[in-house]
Structures are given as C-alpha cells and as structure tokens.
Amino acid sequence: MTTFKNLGLDPELLSALEKLGFEKPTPVQEKAIPALLESDNDLVALAQTGTGKTAAFGLPLLQKLEFSGFTEALVLAPTRELCMQITRDLETFAAFKPELKIVAVYGGASIRDQISLLKRGAQVVVATPGRLIDLLERKAVHLDQLRVLVLDEADEMLNMGFQEDIDTILSKSPADRQSCLFSATMPPEVRRIAQRYMRNPAEISLAANTTNENIEHHYYVVKEKNRYEAVKRILDVEPDVYGILFAQTRSLCQDLAEKLIHDGYNADSLHGDLSQAQRDKVMGRFRKKTLNVLVATDVAARGIDVSDITHVINYSLPNELEVYTHRSGRTARAGKKGIAISIIASRDISKIQRLEKMTRSKFTQMQVPAGDDVVRAKFAHFVDELAAEEPDQASIHAYLSIFYAKMKTITREELIEKLASLELRKFIEYYEGAGDINEGADRRSRDYGSEGSGHYQKFFLSVGELDGLDKKNILRWLNDCGLGKVEFGKIRIHRTHTFLEAETDSTELVMNTISKEKINDRKVRIEIQGMESDGSPRKKKNSYGGGGGDYGKQGKSHFKKDKKKSFRR
C-alpha cells in the first residue's frame, strides 16, 4: 500500500495529514505528488472533482517553498469560493509550518484589504485571474520570483472567460517556473494553454475521467414550455425507470416532484430545503426502490452512491458542463448499463458538442415519443405484466364468484377489450391529440451519421422494439419490403422508433416504399433526418405515411400477408 510517507512528503506535512485523518493518498495524489516533488517539470493532471486534487498540488507546493521572502507560488482558481477553499486547505496542510503566509485574492471583496495583506508578504497567493491582474497592475503582487504556478480547474476558468487574463498572467511570470494544470476535462482550449505555456508537461489522466462505455447519452430538443411534458412521455415509455431527475434549483426540484406525484408517478424530491430527517427518509425509499424517480439538485445528490440506476435525466443541462459528468456518473456503475438523458432547448445544441468532447462519447438526438407511441408502450407493458402474472389460486378463489356472476355472458374478446380500456383509457384520453413536441432543431447529420460523407441519408421510422423489430429481423423486413438492393448504413432500433441510414441515392425509393408499409396493422411513419439549407427543419415536407392515430386504417399490411414475417412476440 502506498502511503503519504512513501511519496516523499516531509514530516511536518505528514503530521498535518495524520491530524486531518488522511490515511492514504488518492490516485491523483499518488501520481502527482512524487512527480512534482522529484522534478521541476511541468505537469498536466486530469481527474474528476472530489478526487483530492488540492492536496495533489498543494502538498508538493508547500514542501518546495524556500521562504525566500518573495511570492514563490501562485494558485489560480475560477471562483472566490474555490480560492477560499484552497486557501483553507493549504493552511490546514501547513499546520506545522507556522512561518507560512498564504493570501487569497478574489473579486467582490475589498482590494485595499488584500493589498495590505500582500504587503506583509505572502509565499503563496491564491487568486482569481481578474483580481490578480488588477493587483499586478497596481504592483501589489510581483511574480518575478515565482517558482510554482498552479492552474486549478483550468477548464472551468476557460469556461468562465478567463482565457485572456490567464494569457496575461502566464506571460508575466518567469519562464523557468514549474507550471501545473489541474482540470476535470481537457477541452481544446485547455490543451492550447498547455501547449503554449507549458514545457513538455508530463500528463496524468485518471481512469475515472475516461469514457464510461456503459452510458448511452441521449438528448431531446424541445421548447422550454414542453420540458415537463417531454419528461413525462419519456418516463411513460420506459416503465422500468429507476432514476434521478436533476433540476437546477431547490424550488424547481420541489415543483417537479409535486407535479410528478400529482400526475401519478412514483417520485419524490431531495434538496437542501429538506431537513436531514426528510432527506434520509427519501433516500431510504429510493435505495429500497419503493421510489422510482428521485428529483434532486446537484448538491443534494452529491455523494449518492446507489447502484442499478437505469436513467439519469437532466431536466436542463447544468450551467457548468463539468457537472454533467458527475450527474451521468450516477448511472452505469459497476459494469452495468445506463442512459443519461438531457432535455434541451435548441439554443443549447452547441453545448452537446462540448459535452461530446468532454465525455468522449457520442450523443444521440432522440425524438420525444408521440402520444400514440406512449400509449402503445404502456399497452405493451400492461400486456407483458398481464402475461407474467401468476395468480395465487387459493387466495383469490373466494372472490372469483363475484366476478363470474357479473361476467356470465361476456365473451373473451369483450373481456380483453374491457381490460385494455380500463388500463389505457386515461392514457388515451390524456394523449389524445398530443402533438409532436420535438423542436425542429438542428439534426446534424453526424447525429446518426457515418462520417458525414453524404453517402448515407438518415431516416426516422415510427416503429421499434415494441413492434417486434430487432437487429436480426430488420434487414429481412427491409428486404421483404422490396429494398433488398439498397445499401444500408447504421441502424439503431429503440423501443418505439428506429433510426436507419440508407444510401442517399435511394432516398426516394426508401421513403416511398416504407411509407406504404404496415407493421402489426399500423402504418409506418418515415421521416428524413436533416436540415434545409435555410436551417428550417425538413421534417414536415418530407414526412410520408401515417402519423399518430393511424391504428387500423386500410392499407397494405405487410404482416397480415405472411404470418412468418410477423414480429409480434
């Protein structure tokens, strides 16, 4: 086992760590501490929030101080809170180095007070970039003797627009300093900083930050006012959701949970306005899975370590995109699969690209299910449950006579109709005329695309797993439809719909053919995925075939013709 002592830390720091109760180094500490102690080489370290990065740079930084009387170390951090937190942490680590002086400087506080503190001398300055520039201009800080410079949460600093300030600060500090960059992610801007200002940096990247292949990332583009409706429909087609719905604020959390409960969902909220006892109770129910949907704020959900979570739903994207990784990391734990869903407005589409880079994963744009898709999914689930039900003869026998007496004359078909109606009526009524709430947003070809070569056209089909389609039979079905000669690219079959790529030259043929098809008596709707050059969605113009509510209409029924081809399970 690696200990802090093995890493080469001095006795004063070790005593402080012991007092703090840090027993062994975290992975990023294990790597960064010796690297920084043993050489003056630059270092880039990528590790998620909460992995102990402060001590990873803080301990070596403190050990390397020479108490020369100048400012020897500078830590840049994005926010005032972080500056204060880092300062507190460093002071704790330096509990047995009484001669150390650390000064935190940040905006929103008196610059005079900060100047007078700086005047008394500080070996370590912890600063936000903007305030530091201010102080440099007033010559209240001097960086010419700087030996160690740390950029903490570099990605966040760049997100917040500190690029120029950082450039200025870096160009004003001595060329032979040691620079360390700590970040949760490595977007191109961070890499640019590393390339421009760091000399051949060693790189540490922790496994926690690598792609979790088991998470599927989906997003739905809707209008602001349709967010809630989108969440409901998504929950409705996924009957076995065990998930967390993340909301930005406590009050939104509360509102959403109340609405969901009112609408019959098994949901509850977890946020900071609740008492500890209330929070424990909610968490207890969630852990026992008597609660399906936990509506939570980021802060409240921090540290939640529940396995088996199937879905993480972002009611909106977090303000700080880095948070997305923490949210989605709640699912797909311990080798299990999970889906991270984001409900976004069209103005947020550019953020998806950033998220793709950050998570090194592909994000798939999904279509919010249409009303009839939801009803169908509900019904399929109901039928599955009905089929799986194993009645306990002994216990229900006594009551069955009432049933038989009332239902004496009823036929099997009538009974089934009644059952279906009873179960589905409220959904059918609710979803009657429920429109398409998908925002006709930028359906970038790369969403479903094969290299965006233009070779393939992507299509949306209103049939999916629930209709019996699967990877094996879909090509056979396409062949049976008369599309045997068409070259198909990627095919993704979802519960209620399918995305299909077919060679662009065959677009018309595919549209015309499939729009005449029926599966299990239901007309297949096919739409082209893509944009017109003016940026408007192409959907309407190119939508062929039956939309919702086409049940039982006349038409060519593929599956009626030949029983063998039926996908009905």
51 touches, from Mg ion, ligand ADP, none (C-beta below 5 to 8 Å by class): ligand ADP
Nearest residue (CB) to ligand ADP, 11 versus 21: 21
The CB-of-33 to Mg ion minimum distance in angstroms stands at 15
**Counting contacts by CB under 5 A, is residue 330 touching Mg ion?**
no
Which of 476, 568, 471 lies closest to 521 in space, CA to CA? Answer: 568
Tokens 């019996």 sit on residue: 468
The CB-of-85 to Mg ion minimum distance in angstroms stands at 8
Nearest residue (CB) to ligand ADP, 185 versus 498: 185
Binding site residues, ligand ADP, CB under 6 A: 22, 25-26, 29, 47, 49-55
187 touches, from Mg ion, ligand ADP, none (C-beta below 5 to 8 Å by class): none
The CB-of-346 to ligand ADP minimum distance in angstroms stands at 33
**Counting contacts by CB under 5 A, is residue 326 touching Mg ion?**
no
**Counting contacts by CB under 5 A, is residue 494 touching Mg ion?**
no
Contact 472, 482 (CB under 8 A): no
- Residue 265 C-alpha from the chain's centroid: 22
Nearest residue (CB) to ligand ADP, 53 versus 525: 53
Which of 106, 101, 133, 136 lies closest to 120 in space, CA to CA? Answer: 101
First to last CA, the chain: 54
Residue nearest to Mg ion (CB): 53
Which of 59, 42, 67, 135 lies closest to 95 in space, CA to CA? Answer: 59
The CB-of-97 to Mg ion minimum distance in angstroms stands at 21
Contact 37, 60 (CB under 8 A): yes
The CB-of-20 to ligand ADP minimum distance in angstroms stands at 7
22 touches, from ligand ADP, Mg ion, none (C-beta below 5 to 8 Å by class): ligand ADP
Tokens 């038409």 sit on residue: 555
Contact 105, 135 (CB under 8 A): yes
Beta bridge partners of 183: 46
The CB-of-45 to ligand ADP minimum distance in angstroms stands at 9
The CB-of-53 to Mg ion minimum distance in angstroms stands at 5
**Counting contacts by CB under 5 A, is residue 525 touching Mg ion?**
no
Near Mg ion in 251-280, by CB under 5 A: none
527, HSE (Cβ side, Cα atoms, 13 Å): 19
The CB-of-352 to Mg ion minimum distance in angstroms stands at 26
Which of 168, 5, 9 lies closest to 74 in space, CA to CA? Answer: 168
- Which 8-state DSSP code applies to residue 482? I
Nearest residue (CB) to Mg ion, 53 versus 351: 53
Which of 266, 278, 271, 232 lies closest to 254 in space, CA to CA? Answer: 271
The CA-based angle 219-222-227, given to 5 degrees, is: 90
329 touches, from Mg ion, ligand ADP, none (C-beta below 5 to 8 Å by class): none
Give SS3 for 55: helix
| Residues with Cβ within 8 Å of residue 334, at least 6 apart in sequence | 307
331 touches, from Mg ion, ligand ADP, none (C-beta below 5 to 8 Å by class): none
464 touches, from ligand ADP, Mg ion, none (C-beta below 5 to 8 Å by class): none
The CB-of-153 to Mg ion minimum distance in angstroms stands at 6
Which amino acid would we find at residue 24? K
Q: How far, in Å, CA of 422 to CA of 322, rounded?
A: 46
Nearest residue (CB) to ligand ADP, 25 versus 60: 25
Q: Which of 53, 232, 351, 525 binds Mg ion (CB under 5 A)?
A: 53
Residue 206 backbone dihedrals phi, psi, to 5 degrees = -90, 145
Which of these ranges, 45-53, 197-205, 242-250, 449-457, lies near Mg ion under the rule CB under 5 A?
45-53
Which amino acid would we find at residue 280? D
Nearest residue (CB) to ligand ADP, 47 versus 355: 47
Nearest residue (CB) to Mg ion, 86 versus 143: 86
Which of 232, 204, 230 lies closest to 219 in space, CA to CA? Answer: 230
282 touches, from ligand ADP, Mg ion, none (C-beta below 5 to 8 Å by class): none
Nearest residue (CB) to Mg ion, 53 versus 232: 53
Which of these ranges, 15-23, 52-60, 96-104, 438-446, lies near Mg ion under the rule CB under 5 A?
52-60
The CA-based angle 449-453-457, given to 5 degrees, is: 55
Nearest residue (CB) to ligand ADP, 54 versus 87: 54
Which of 97, 72, 209 lies closest to 150 in space, CA to CA? Answer: 72
Nearest residue (CB) to ligand ADP, 25 versus 338: 25
The CB-of-329 to ligand ADP minimum distance in angstroms stands at 14
Q: How far, in Å, CA of 115 to CA of 110, rounded?
A: 9
Binding site for Mg ion (CB under 5 A): 53
